[in-house]
Amino acid sequence: MTADSAPSSDTVLVDALEPAEGPETAAALASAVALDSERAVDAVAALLHGKRAAVLTGAGLSTDSGIPDYRGQGAPTRTPMTFQTFVADERSRKRYWAGSHLGWRVFRQAEPNLGHRSLVQLERAGAIAGVITQNVDGLHTRAGSRHVVELHGSLDRVICLACGQAFGRDSIAARLETDNPVLRDPDSIHIAPDGDADVGNIDDFVVPACTVCQGMLKPNVVFFGELVPTETFLEASALVQGADALIVAGSSLAVNSGIRLVEQARRRKLPIIVINRGVTKGDGRALHKLEAGTSETFAALAERLLG
């Protein structure tokens, strides 16, 4: 489907439907949407039968694990930390570490959801070649996926920008809490919509340094203003090049690295399927766009392809 063409019969446009007038209309509308959703999944399953797909996932896949989607519908406006600010401004770096530490607690407690588990089933059966994820939560690996390309890194690792030494996030978290007792009481810290943390006297906040060279530590994730490491992008690109189809799930494709992979698939004339609640930058390139949740959609696809 091109950007200027009319939606096909297997495209589910839930948000384009008119508001219901009453209970009977609402029930009929819900039934029609459910039927359209089933037909859309049937069409995608038929398309993928006998093929191996690459899957590109975004934050929408992890919302069912309790991790917020910061770009989804209704998400607050936020100003993400840039690499340049992190390196150059000590106070911003301290606020980032305070907020990131509390965010790490949420990530650490999150469990893989039905969508993650369904992808594991599909990979084991040979229906998908692997997963490229824009998420930094590590949930694909924890679910059991074997071929995972973490496009933007992972929060469970910390690196020294000076000597390259890597550390486990849990060890850095322990040091943060030892040096900053306020972090042991998360209710005393206010997190702003942009991710900054108000920890009272920010000047007293202690950020851990590298134990090897005393250099600056940074979570091993790609910040705004940074490039995806070349070898990582090449691995993701190779996964797309070797696939028979590309599924984009839970991503608005607002980040350049994601849309570049979709464009590679388009140039290879691969069928592209987009599963996302809300508009994405890849909708005009998609053969099928499913306006649906990722967990239930992957579960339904697994049932049809493996059942």
Could you tell me if 43 and 287 are in contact, meaning their C-beta atoms sit under 8 angstroms apart?
Answer: no
Reference 278, options 14, 33, 82, 65; nearest CA is 14
The reply to whether 152 belongs to the active site is: yes
Helix axes 294-306, 114-124, angle to 10 degrees: 30
Q: Are 236 and 149 in contact (CB under 8 A)?
A: yes
- Name the helix (H) or strand (E) containing 71: none
51 contacts: CB under 8 Å, gap ≥ 6: 127, 243, 244, 245
Q: From the candidates 140, 152, 190, 288, which is the catalytic residue?
A: 152
- Count CB-CB contacts under 10 A for residue 41: 24
Backbone phi, psi, residue 23, to 5°: -60, -40
CA distances from 91 to 176, 211, 225, 293 (A): 16, 21, 19, 39
Cβ-in-10-Å burial (0-12, 13-18, 19+) of 168 comes to exposed
Distance CA 133, CA 130 (A): 10
Sign of CA dihedral 249, 299, 151, 287: negative
Spatial contact of 146 and 72, defined as CB atoms under 8 Å apart: no
Residues labelled as active-site residues = 152
